[in-house]
Amino acid sequence: MSDKNFPLLFERSKEGRTSYSLPELDTESFDLESELDEVYIRKEAPKLPEVSELDIIRHYTGLASRNYGVDSGFYPLGSCTMKYNPKINEDIARLEGFSHIHPYQDPSTVQGALEMLYDLQESLKEITGMHEVSLQSAAGAQGEWTALMMIRAFHEANGDHHRNQVIVPDSAHGTNPASAAVAGFEAVTVKSNEEGLVDLDDLRRVVGENTAALMLTNPNTLGLFEKEILEMAAIVHEAGGKLYYDGANLNAIMGYVRPGDMGFDAVHLNLHKTFTGPHGGGGPGSGPVGVSEELAVYLPKPVIIKKDDYYTFDNDRPKSIGRIKPFYGNFGINLRAYTYIRTMGAQGLKKVSEYAVLNANYMMRKLEKAFQLPYPQHCKHEFVLSGSIQKRLGVRTLDMAKRLLDFDFHPPTIYFPLNVEEGMMIEPTETESKETLDSFIDTMLHIAKEAEENPEIVQEAPHNTIVKRMDEATAARKPILRYRE
Amino acid sequence: MEFRYLPMTSGDKQEMMDEIGIESTEELFADIPSHVRLKKEMKLKAPKSEYALTKELTALANKNTSTKDVVSFLGAGVYDHYIPSVVDHVISKSEFYTAYTPYQPEVSQGELQAIFEFQTMVSELTGLPVANSSMYDGGTALAEAVNLSAAQTKRKKVLVSEAVHPEYKQVIHTYAKGQSIEIVPIKLKDGKTDLTNLKELLNEDIAGVVIQYPNFFGQIEPMESIQELLDNQRKTMLIVSSNPLALGYLTPPGDFGADIVTGDTQVFGIPAQFGGPHCGYFATTEKLMRKVPGRLVGQTKDENGARGYVLTLQAREQHIRRDKATSNICSNQALNALASAVAMSSIGKHGIRKMAALNMQKARYAKKKLMEHGIPIVHDGPFFNEFVIQLDKDISEVNAELLEKGFLGGFDLGRVDNAFQGQMLVAVTEIRTKQEIDQLAKELGDIHV
């Protein structure tokens, strides 16, 4: 990490340099220019880089060194489940029999792929306790929207066209209300109580004949288990609504309790979180949807089925909400998740949740000595600290996050959920050793001490990174979204 | 059973429980209502060692017929192209693939800059000034464009050409239902959008017109005439779905007045992998910059004046705007955008035109050879790298026969509509050889008689 103004690939470009190695034109040649009307022939070549193969490798090796991943160090980004990404998953995903198959091949030529998908569906049914699972959705947000579209179809089939509201807790991920809006619903907020859980009285107030569903993350984004889940389910179901489970935090409860058994009618999972499909710098993900028997007829098309030991697609689903994505979901990510599930088994997955929760509680107890802990009960796989003590010393949570960078840690999620002042949401995951947790804890305590004794060093952080704090205001006011010569 | 991803020793566990003040980790789960607790072990297959699982899954992979084992003429939205070796080497760098969304720019400059470069390349290809960091795939990107046109124009009707990919159309329908947008099909004529029908359907209630260029049947749509028809319509947006490789040779949609151009960069460095993950792209005008779905990377400076990159215009996005966001998209296809950026850099400014032309040349040769073997070609307009042939047999039977000879035949259009029974969409990319094409023509000639 040396060069401050790292060149863009376009700036390394030099007319006449090439890196391509195209197959030969071994057929006769046709005069394309006389065949096509000249208006359809591109006048000016797109300005892609002109670089050598070594230029490309040096460029991206340089960029990689300016990036931080789980393989670089501890990444306690709350709600994102930044666990280790097993290398076998990458190897399996690159087997030619999986990576080089076309979605329109005849099912008889892709039985291995379909068997894997079917078995993954079965595994996720068992893990979630749901009746049927679709692997179509590309990511969590698409899974949310897919399930809400199914819930909408269910209400419409019952003639309940007036059910146009989806209830979302104030601590929910932003995708929840956004998905509700894209599915054509109005998002209604339900408040949290002093314990950080959904306020049942407020829930009773907001449910009604217009309620289509309640979207709930459990444990919630504060890392707290909604222990009154059965009462909540009863309130929503009695009002005629459906209960939706946002699986972002499934890593906390595998093998302990299943959404289906808690009364949820629909769930989505984030395979790139709980089931180790890597995050890839922001994607691709996979967001399978599981549903109750009642909602199963609305699943997106097609559904993978097994008939007499032959795997194929079922497109004969007249009540289906339709197709939500071309082809059959993010197969490559589903395959990685499947490899992980087969590595861990039932016992292993339960241990995953046990250690994810143990690690979070251990860190929480160590850190509450220096930071305000708004919700003192045991947490699940993550917890939220408030930086309010440090704020009074003039040191904001953002400053502490930036200071962590100086110690080669990725900061936690900050300023989320919205109901905690100066929030820091910490999710260690189960794959980190006690030594790593202790090292992070020591660093956090050190920063808390700095905030008291030498606040400038925190306020002016980071000091050791390749770039300092960025001018985000100018970036948004005068956007530069592409390179120009 | 040992688990190699779980590092805690029993000693560690005890120390941690002591610190928390518990005797068993069960206490940490005591808030789960006991009667819904799972009392038994989940019924999953027993865990396997790395060696045994690799062996089992390799055998499973080998049950599939890979396009590496047969000669593929199958396309229809997913193509078998040359993937430069550098691509997998770059995306296998774990600083990229094990990172999250670059919310902390100081330690994410690598990802941010790579995406900024991707945005630039998409902008160059499409002829529009703004491109986002990626969408799930070409189909959902197009559906988001339809939603955006309705939101922007405050109109509730969108015209979609029947020459758009059938699965993209289905996705548009599902998304449109969520926003109560009416989708009206524009008829086909000779494998292209029927301009007379488009003209009849256009009026001031139309939010957008969706065209695929080149279209699903491989035909190059008359964009100039479509632009002329739309020039008379104030506000109505032109939304174009394009194979970005074709845009290495063809005039970019931006030059024909497109307001939004979407598509899939699978053609650049991304293997078919049974349909996903691929990588959607989304490009648009400066005017719509603040309405774009998904993430945008922008260039800025740090406190010391050093150039750097950040996620920007986040006020459009779900994590800030919640139910008022322009889209619910959160995760995108960042790693695949990186793969495509590497592939586009490798192919380069001149290579891309050559590669696109190579597809067109070999496709024309295939068309000629098939005609020589007595196979009728359905459309006679200009095309990119796909064209439709008419056979007197059921295409699924034809493809079964071809498979025995080592060929993956083209897409069976009868799957889309009964009117297309006996029609096959043949895709010919740059990696097909003269010998392979000659052989296919001979086999199909023999089957067709």
Does this model's pTM top 0.95?
yes
The answer to whether position B25 is within a domain reads no
The answer to whether position A248 is within a domain reads yes
Residues B114 and B214 in one domain: yes
The pLDDT score that the predictor gives to residue B232 is 86
Domain ends where: A295, A323, A343?
A343
Tokens standing for A12? Answer: 């390394």
**A288–B contact, CB cutoff 8 A:** no
Q: In chain A, what percentage of residues exceed pLDDT 90?
A: 98
Which residue, B90, B80, B99, B271, is CA-closest to A94? B271
**A188–B contact, CB cutoff 8 A:** no
CB contact under 8 A, A433 and B8: yes
Interface probe with A: pick from B57, B89, B362, B397, most Cβ of A within 10 Å: B57
Residues B301 and B370 in one domain: no
Average of pLDDT values for B405-424? Answer: 97
Residues A273 and A164 in one domain: yes
The pLDDT score that the predictor gives to residue A1 is 41
The answer to whether position A110 is within a domain reads yes
Structure confidence by residue, pLDDT tens digits, B311-337: 999 988 888 888 888 899 999 999 999
Which residue, B209, B288, B214, B224, is CA-closest to B250? B214
Residues B318 and B236 in one domain: yes
The pLDDT score that the predictor gives to residue A2 is 43
Q: To which residue do tokens 């493809």 refer?
A: B399
**Cis peptide leading into residue A219 (ω within 30°):** yes
Residues A288 and A227 in one domain: yes
Residues A290 and A168 in one domain: yes
Structure confidence by residue, pLDDT tens digits, A206-249: 999 999 999 999 999 999 999 999 999 999 999 999 999 999 99
Q: Could you give the C-alpha distances from B15 to A248, A361, A435, in angstroms and in order?
A: 29, 12, 12
Residues B338 and B357 in one domain: no
Touching B: A residues 238-257, CB under 8 Å? 253-257
The answer to whether position A48 is within a domain reads yes
The pLDDT score that the predictor gives to residue A5 is 82
DSSP class of residue A204 equals H
Which residue, B230, B291, B117, B60, is CA-closest to A7? B117
Instruction: Judge whether residue A97 has pLDDT over 90.
Output: yes
| Residues in chain B within 8 Å Cβ distance of A61 | 93
The answer to whether position A360 is within a domain reads no
The pLDDT score that the predictor gives to residue B2 is 84
Interface probe with A: pick from B331, B365, B372, B435, most Cβ of A within 10 Å: B331
Structure confidence by residue, pLDDT tens digits, A415-447: 999 889 999 999 999 999 999 999 999 999 999
B181 falls in which pLDDT band (50, 70, 90)? very high
The pLDDT score that the predictor gives to residue A354 is 98
**A73–B contact, CB cutoff 8 A:** no
**Domains in chain A: how many in total?**
2
| Residues in chain B within 8 Å Cβ distance of A181 | 323-325, 328
The answer to whether position B27 is within a domain reads no
Q: Are residues A386 and B41 in contact, defined by beta-carbon separation less than 8 angstroms?
A: no
**Domains in chain B: how many in total?**
2
Tokens standing for B302? Answer: 């740090």
Nearest to A64 among B110, B349, B350 (CB): B110
* Long-range contacts, stretch B228-231, CB < 8 angstroms, 24+ apart: B229/B195, B229/B198, B229/B199, B229/B202, B230/B202, B230/B257, B231/B257
Interface probe with B: pick from A373, A481, A485, most Cβ of B within 10 Å: A481
Instruction: Judge whether residue A273 has pLDDT over 90.
Output: yes
Residues B93 and B201 in one domain: yes
Residues B364 and B291 in one domain: no
Residues A46 and A119 in one domain: no
Q: Are residues A67 and B108 in contact, defined by beta-carbon separation less than 8 angstroms?
A: yes
**B105–A contact, CB cutoff 8 A:** yes
Relative to beta strand B260-264, strand B237-241 is: parallel
Structure confidence by residue, pLDDT tens digits, B126-135: 999 999 999 9
Interface probe with B: pick from A104, A148, A218, A468, most Cβ of B within 10 Å: A104
Q: Are residues B122 and B131 in contact, defined by beta-carbon separation less than 8 angstroms?
A: yes
The answer to whether position B3 is within a domain reads no
Residues A206 and A244 in one domain: yes
Residues B225 and B289 in one domain: yes
CATH of the domain at B338: 3.40.640.10
Neighbours of B7 (CB within 10 A): 16
Instruction: Judge whether residue B174 has pLDDT over 80.
Output: yes
Amino acid present at B108? S
Interface probe with A: pick from B173, B303, B345, most Cβ of A within 10 Å: B345
| Residues in chain A within 8 Å Cβ distance of B3 | 344, 348, 351
The answer to whether position A368 is within a domain reads no
CB contact under 8 A, A283 and B353: no
CB contact under 8 A, B136 and A138: yes
H or E element, residue B361: helix B334-372
Touching A: B residues 356-415, CB under 8 Å? 357-358, 360-362, 364-365, 382, 396, 399-400, 403, 408, 411
CB contact under 8 A, B28 and A5: no
Structure confidence by residue, pLDDT tens digits, A342-394: 999 999 999 999 999 999 999 999 999 999 999 999 999 999 999 999 999 99
Residues B324 and B362 in one domain: no
Pick the residue from chain A with its C-alpha nearest to B336: A284
Residues A286 and A224 in one domain: yes
Domain ends where: B304, B319, B343?
B343
Residues A206 and A144 in one domain: yes
Tokens standing for A18? Answer: 């090439």
Structure confidence by residue, pLDDT tens digits, A121-150: 999 999 999 999 999 999 999 999 999 999
CB contact under 8 A, A300 and B19: no
Nearest to A357 among B28, B131, B173 (CB): B28
What is the rounded end-to-end Cα distance, in angstroms, of chain A?
25
Residues B357 and B338 in one domain: no
Distance from CA of B368 to the nearest CA of A (A): 10
Nearest to B323 among A180, A357, A472 (CB): A180
Domain ends where: B301, B319, B343?
B343
Nearest to B335 among A283, A354, A359 (CB): A283
Structure confidence by residue, pLDDT tens digits, A35-48: 999 999 999 999 99
Distance from CA of B190 to the nearest CA of A (A): 17
Residues A286 and A164 in one domain: yes
CB contact under 8 A, B120 and A483: yes
| Residues in chain A within 8 Å Cβ distance of B172 | none
**Measured distance CA(B322)–CA(B315) in Å, rounded:** 10
The answer to whether position B133 is within a domain reads yes
**A283–B contact, CB cutoff 8 A:** yes
Q: What is the ipTM of this complex?
A: 0.98
CB contact under 8 A, A328 and B109: no
Q: Are residues A181 and B324 in contact, defined by beta-carbon separation less than 8 angstroms?
A: yes
The answer to whether position B63 is within a domain reads no
B1 falls in which pLDDT band (50, 70, 90)? low
* Residues in contact with B32: Cβ distance below 8 Å, sequence separation at least 6, in sequence order: A225, A227, A253, A256, A257
Relative to beta strand B182-186, strand B188-189 is: unpaired
**B76–A contact, CB cutoff 8 A:** yes
Structure confidence by residue, pLDDT tens digits, B246-283: 999 999 999 999 999 999 999 999 999 999 999 999 99
Distance from CA of B191 to the nearest CA of A (A): 17
The answer to whether position B413 is within a domain reads yes
Q: To which residue do tokens 């910490």 refer?
A: A426
Neighbours of A169 (CB within 10 A): 27
| Residues in chain B within 8 Å Cβ distance of A434 | 7-8, 12, 15-16
Domain ends where: B289, B321, B343?
B343
Structure confidence by residue, pLDDT tens digits, B110-165: 999 999 999 999 999 999 999 999 999 999 999 999 999 999 999 999 999 999 99
Distance from CA of A179 to the nearest CA of B (A): 5
H or E element, residue A364: helix A331-367
Find the length of chain B. Answer: 449
For residue A94, the enclosing domain spans 89-343
Task: Please list the residues that pair with B42 across neighbouring strands.
Answer: none
H or E element, residue B9: none
Residues A30 and A109 in one domain: no
Interface probe with A: pick from B1, B95, B130, most Cβ of A within 10 Å: B95
The pLDDT score that the predictor gives to residue A4 is 61
Tokens standing for A128? Answer: 């979630």
Nearest to B276 among A280, A332, A401 (CB): A332
For residue B198, the enclosing domain spans 85-343
Q: In chain A, what percentage of residues exceed pLDDT 70?
A: 99
Tokens standing for B199? Answer: 């003209």
CATH of the domain at B416: 3.90.1150.10
Q: Are residues A139 and A283 in contact, defined by beta-carbon separation less than 8 angstroms?
A: yes
Residues B404 and B331 in one domain: no
